[in-house]
Chains A and B, each alone.
Chain A
Amino acid sequence: MITQLSVVLVFIFLQFLIGLGCLTMKRDMVRLLIGVEILFNAANLCFIALSSNVTGFVDPLPQTIVMMAIVLDGSVIAVGLAIVINAYKHYGTLDIRRLMRLKW
């Protein structure tokens, strides 16, 4: 039976797959970081969707977890951007297909 939660979960899965598709199909390093960020946001949306399932009530635990998860993945993306800056200084390009010197 199709409840409101299942429709919201379908859209959250679609966002998750958009994030995975962005990771596999894009070749710019900053776009890969944006793909990781989309994945984190899909997981946070899943928490929020599950917090408002009971009619007439709001569950505060997932909302507090989302507030802390936003801080954590913001700091992860900041560290990733620092690595991207240094990689750009060496390779001169942000194309990830050029970063294939380490093979086998």
Chain B
Amino acid sequence: MVAQMIPLLGLAIPTPVLVLVLGGVLAPFMGLVAKRSRFMLREFWAIFVTALSLYSVYQLYLQVEASAGHVLVVSSWGQNPPFSGCFEVDMLGVFMAGSITFLGVLVAIYSTSYMERETRLTEFYTLFLFLLAGLVGVTMAGDFFTLFIFWELMSISSYVLVAFLKQNWGPLEAGFKYFVMSATGSAFLLFSMAFLYGMVGSLNFASFAVAFPNMDITPWMVMLFAFLLVGFGVKAAVFPLHTWLPDAHPEAPSPVSALLSGVVIETGLYGLTRVLFLVFDPGFFKFPIAVLAFLTMTVGNLTALRQKDLKRLLAYSSIAQIGYMLVGLAAGTAYGVMGLLLHVFNHSLMKGVAFLSAGSLIHHAETRDIDELRGIGRAMPLTSLTLVVAMLGLGGIPPLNGFISKFILFNSAIGTGLIWLTVAGVLNSTLSMGYYLIVIRNLLAKPEEDHGVHEAPLPMLVVTLFMVVLIIVFGVWPQPAIQVADKAALGLVENVAEYISAIFTP
């Protein structure tokens, strides 16, 4: 199977996107069949499609690795790239797509037993597959409008997945707030696209890389920077625009929360990174992004200290982790971006485990309050162990993988002269262990009455244990992840010439 494109009626798009989109289109038919028979056809279809997309991302990685210049351009019907939409797959896109589909497979296996008593399961799995399709499409897009189409696909799937449990008032209020803020962000993104078009003449990323290094800083460029920051920053939860996140992540169903915290906000950060590095010079955005990183970290950590709701505490901790990733973006070097990408992968694993095992605990105990979950570690020992390991990893304890990526991020900030940011980052990391230890103490305390061991159902348990094993393995032996992240970061920051020449070959 040619991994790069499958010419389906002449439409050539990269295989992971095609697999996920076709899986999403065929999922309602699986739902119709599953209603007649008593077989769990929808869940197996979702697991099959996501596993197939993970395999095709791996094949695409091998193909990008083997091609000259490490960039592949995919466009269909013989369209000419500077004026038409195209997909440009480089190592950065493959890295993000691998992270997304990997978490997608695990969440699909988890949600077979979490969501089994809910209604409208056909729509849930269809929108789940469309969310993954939109995410992978954003990371592989080579043209800004193609990115916008997949951005909207991802966004509308996530609005409804947040508001999915519509019997209660909480998801609807959170979903509406998330909808208004995110739709406003999309409008800002469209506006910045208009400015970019006016300044360059086409919307291709390679044309930006050709035309922008020669432009000097006018007030229009500053306005463009502000609009891009708002447009991508609403989805990536940077400081003043993060207020939708503490409402939306707890109220969503737990598998959807894991996907939202694990990959959706990182895809917003990917968009910001890609466009900022192609359009602006790193010295221009170093100071504003550093200030935003500091504010995001501090606000996230300080507000998490007051939380009494377990999932809301994890949501504020996601905001703080986005702050750490912005430190890598503020550094502006390939080393900083490598730290950012490695932290994206590690955070998707750790926050994914945290939300999934918190979902198992809440599924059993029917409450989200930390004080009421006191002593549940005796009733569900393995699940509490996974939550404890995930929280230690998020705080940055050495043998786990969170330590390695945080070390690279703060080290890169020193290298470019932002020493105050490194000090603030280390202090914030220490502060975050404060609230993680409160939760760990509550989990491991002695309960009033002892009900015996009543562990989570098998799919939920197996997924969380597997991810914890991966956290420990990547903490002790991070070399494979570091190598791929290094190639991805070099492809973005240094080898822009190959990115340009893949489209503008004479």
A→B interface (CB under 8 Å): 16, 19, 23, 29, 32-33, 36, 39-40, 42-44, 46-47, 50, 53, 61-62, 65, 68-69, 72-73, 75-76, 79-80, 82-84, 86-87, 90-91, 99, 101-102, 104
Contacts and interface: CB of A to CB of B under 8 A. Distances in A.
Interface residues of B, number: 40
Given A36-B183, A73-B187, A99-B177, 10 more contacts: A32-B180, A40-B187, A46-B195, A79-B156, A79-B179, A80-B180, A87-B172, A87-B176, A102-B170, A102-B174
A68 B173 contact: no
A86 B172 contact: yes
Contact of A79 (B160, B247, B251): B160
Interface string B303-315: 1001100000000
Contacts of B191: 16, 39, 42-43, 46
A23 B230 CA distance: 15
B83 A72 contact: no
Contact of B197 (A44, A62, A73): A62
Given A42-B191, A65-B145, A83-B163, A76 B197 contact: no
Contacts of B179: 79-80, 83
Nearest to B178: A83
A47 to B, nearest CB: 5
B187 A99 contact: no
B176 A44 contact: no
Interface of B: 83, 145, 148-149, 152, 155-156, 159-160, 163, 166, 169-170, 172-177, 179-180, 183-184, 186-188, 190-191, 193-195, 197-198, 202-203, 247, 251, 303, 306-307
B173 A102 contact: yes
Contact of A72 (B152, B160, B176): B152
Most chain B beta-carbon contacts within 10 A, residue among A29, A42, A44, A83: A83
B207 to A, nearest CB: 12
A23 B184 contact: yes
Contacts of A36: 180, 183-184, 187
Chain A interface, >50% SS class: helix
B306 A104 contact: yes
B308 to A, nearest CB: 9
Contact of A101 (B159, B173, B176, B198): B173
B194 A76 contact: no
B187 A50 contact: no
Nearest to A29: B176
22 contacts: A23-B180, A33-B180, A36-B184, A39-B188, A40-B187, A42-B187, A44-B190, A46-B194, A50-B194, A50-B197, A50-B198, A61-B202, A62-B197, A65-B145, A65-B193, A65-B203, A76-B155, A83-B176, A90-B169, A101-B170, A102-B170, A102-B174
Contact of A76 (B156, B173, B203): B156
Most chain B beta-carbon contacts within 10 A, residue among A23, A69, A73: A69
Contacts of B195: 46
Nearest to B82: A61
B145 A68 contact: yes
A23 B299 CA distance: 25
A39 B197 contact: no
A43 B148 contact: no
Contacts of B173: 87, 99, 101-102
A98 to B, nearest CB: 9
Contacts of A68: 145, 149
B170 A84 contact: no
Contacts of B177: 99
A65 to B, nearest CB: 6
Contacts of B187: 19, 36, 39-40, 42-43, 73
B148 A86 contact: no
Most chain B beta-carbon contacts within 10 A, residue among A23, A68, A76, A102: A102
A61 B197 contact: yes
A82 B173 CA distance: 13
Contacts of B163: 83, 86
Contacts of A83: 159-160, 163, 172, 175-176, 179
A50 B198 CA distance: 6
Contacts of A53: 198
Nearest to B162: A83
Contacts of A50: 194, 197-198
A75 B188 CA distance: 17
A40 to B, nearest CB: 5
Contacts of B184: 23, 36, 39
A12 to B, nearest CB: 9
